[in-house]
A and B are shown apart, each in its own frame.
Chain A
Amino acid sequence: QVQIQQWGAGLLKPSETLSLTCTVFGGSFSGYSWSWIRQPPGKGLEWIGEIHHSGNTNYNPSLESRVTISADTSKEQFSLKVTSVTAADTALYYCAREDGGFSDWGRGTLVTVSS
């Protein structure tokens, strides 16, 4: 059973960089794609981007200029960075494993951007 633990700073000021990391437990890191998804308060889900086991990445075009997703396979971790955050980036951020759908999710990290 895969478990995903996520962490990162929950309160940021405008223009700062959001940084979150997920660690995968259960020995199932290689061979899968890993995504970041966010959900603004009271709103729906928005896919941010993904990193494949090959290291290739795909990003949501609306966020691509500010987003970087990376992975450290030796630590079975993957990370998200979003630069120049604004209040519009306030959301619950989830990481998830893609295995024919997002089959396993982290519990979410609430990130609030406020001056």
Chain B
Amino acid sequence: QSVLTQAPSASATPGQSVTISCSGSSSNIGSNYVYWYQQLPGTAPKLLIYRNNYRPSGVPDRFSGSKSGTSASLAISGLRSEDEADYYCAAWDDSLSGRVFGGGTKLTVL
């Protein structure tokens, strides 16, 4: 059982937009930054969004992050087949004094 809650799967067709949600609590998302990671099959995760809504250099602007209260979202526009991956949210948790991940959302591009 992950501290941050994500839907296990999502799907959309190429060119469409999709939003992946992450739900937490006041001790994590509600009071700390949210990060998003993309994990392509057989590879290490890659930082996609940091500090709620910033993209590292090289991440396309098709990816965007937002946060409201104790929830956060990752939006992907203009879906491409190469976006098919697992997406994880993460945050610091003040109660646990540690970092926590969501269970991950497997995105399928139909």
The answer to whether A and B come from one shared complex is yes
Tell me what chain A mostly uses at the interface: helix, strand, loop, or mixed: strand
Q: How many residues of B contact A (CB 8 A)?
A: 25
Which interface class (under 10, 10 to 19, 20 to 34, 35 or more) fits A?
Answer: 20 to 34
Tell me what chain B mostly uses at the interface: helix, strand, loop, or mixed: strand
Q: Does B85 contact A (CB under 8 A)?
A: no
- Min Cβ gap A61→B in Å is 6
Contact at B45–A101, with CB atoms within 8 Å?
no
Partner of B101, one of A45, A59, A101: A45
Q: Does A44 contact B (CB under 8 A)?
A: yes
A interface vs B, CB < 8 Å? 35, 44-47, 49-50, 58-61, 94, 100-103, 105-108
B interface vs A, CB < 8 Å? 2, 35, 37, 39, 44-47, 49-51, 54, 56, 86, 88, 90, 96-104
